[in-house]
């Protein structure tokens, strides 16, 4: 359900008398707070700044800290990134190459 649909439903409930004025305002603020910030640019538009902030981890590392750094940047666990690199190496053969390039070109924390 989109934010506009939720607001419309809240308005209908308010008009029907199911929600008081205070409940309506509180629910609307909650929906709008969880929604998209209209002043912010589109998602992914600051991709270059996120990539520029990527650093190899000094603490969460097995080899070069690449997976630990990707984990911090993406919010995913580092073991998932390790699994992705292993799967790409085994299935396609270029996972190790990507890991080595990231190890070389991504600076440490």
Please report, rounded to a whole number, the percentage of residues in the chain having pLDDT higher than 90: 6
pLDDT in tens, 39-71: 444 455 566 666 677 888 888 878 888 888 888
Q: What is the pLDDT of residue 87?
A: 92
Give me the domain span that covers residue 78.
47-105
Residues 26 and 59 in one domain: no
Q: Tell me, what's the pLDDT at 47?
A: 65
Residues 8 and 51 in one domain: no
Lowest mean pLDDT among 2-16, 30-44, 65-79: 30-44
Residue 78: which of 100, 64, 60 has the closest Cα?
A: 60
Instruction: With respect to residue 24, please indicate whether it lies within any of the assigned structural domains.
Output: yes
Number of residues assigned to the chain? 109
User: What rounded mean pLDDT belongs to the chain?
Assistant: 80
The answer to whether residue 41 sits within a structural domain is: no
Nearest to 13 by CA among 46, 52, 5, 89: 5
- Looking at the domain assignment, is residue 87 inside a domain? yes
Residue 100 lies in a domain: yes
- Give the separation between CA 37 and CA 58, rounded to whole angstroms: 34
Partner residues linked to 108 by β-bridges: 56
Q: What three-state secondary structure class fits 45?
A: coil
Instruction: Judge if 16 and 65 occupy the same domain.
Output: no
59 and 99 housed in the same domain: yes
Residue 57 and residue 65 in contact, taking contact as beta carbons nearer than 8 Å: yes
Q: Please indicate whether residue 19 or residue 37 has the higher confidence score (pLDDT).
A: 19
Structure pTM?
0.53
């Amino acid at each position: 359900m989109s934010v506009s649909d939720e607001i419309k439903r809240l308005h209908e409930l308010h008009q029907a008398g199911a929600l008081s004025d205070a409940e309506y305002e509180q629910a609307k603020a909650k929906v709008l707070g969880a929604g998209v910030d209209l002043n912010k640019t589109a998602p992914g538009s600051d991709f270059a700044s996120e990539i520029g902030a990527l650093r190899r981890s000094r603490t969460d590392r097995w080899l070069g800290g690449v997976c630990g750094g990707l984990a911090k940047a993406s919010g995913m666990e580092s073991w998932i990134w390790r699994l992705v690199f292993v799967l790409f190496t085994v299935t396609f053969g270029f996972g190790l190459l990507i890991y080595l390039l990231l190890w070389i070109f991504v600076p440490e924390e």
